[in-house]
Amino acid sequence: MAATNALLVIIRHAPHSSNWLREGLDAALVAAAFGQPVHLLFMGKGILALLKEQGSGAPGQKATLPTIDMLEMYDIDKLWVTKEALQNMHLSTDSLVDGVTLIAEREVAGLLQQHTKILNF
């Protein structure tokens, strides 16, 4: 993949732990709302945002899953996850929402190089 003007938003925090996840996704949505192409890279516990069986509303906060589902309405369709991160958490792709693209951990560095704009959450 050649250099891209898309904004890369890196998501590294899990739902229901802090507001990093929500505020990272908000930044991605706003960029997309302004017409900027946006790509998402999920690292570490950030992957938990993509679990398809997340309940709603618990505990007293807005659920993440509806926002993940909503990404396609903003034409955000690149959701990268590394195979190694999945393995570390003993998860398989079956537990994740549709539309996730698996990459190898050694591809992460290249991905960062290709994007001129990066926001890390």
Which residues make up the interface to another protein (CB under 8 A)? 7, 10, 12, 19-20, 23, 26-27, 29-36, 43-45, 56, 62-63, 66-67, 69-70, 73-75, 82, 105, 108-110, 112-113, 116-120
Other C-beta atoms lying within 10 Å of the C-beta of residue 101: 12
Min dist CB 19 to another protein, Å, is 7
Whether 57 and 63 have beta carbons less than 8 Å apart is answered as: yes
Min dist CB 44 to another protein, Å, is 5
Nearer to another protein, 75 or 98 (CB): 75
Let me know if 75 is exposed, middle or buried by CB neighbors in 10 A (0-12, 13-18, 19+): exposed
The β-bridge partners of 42 are 11, 81
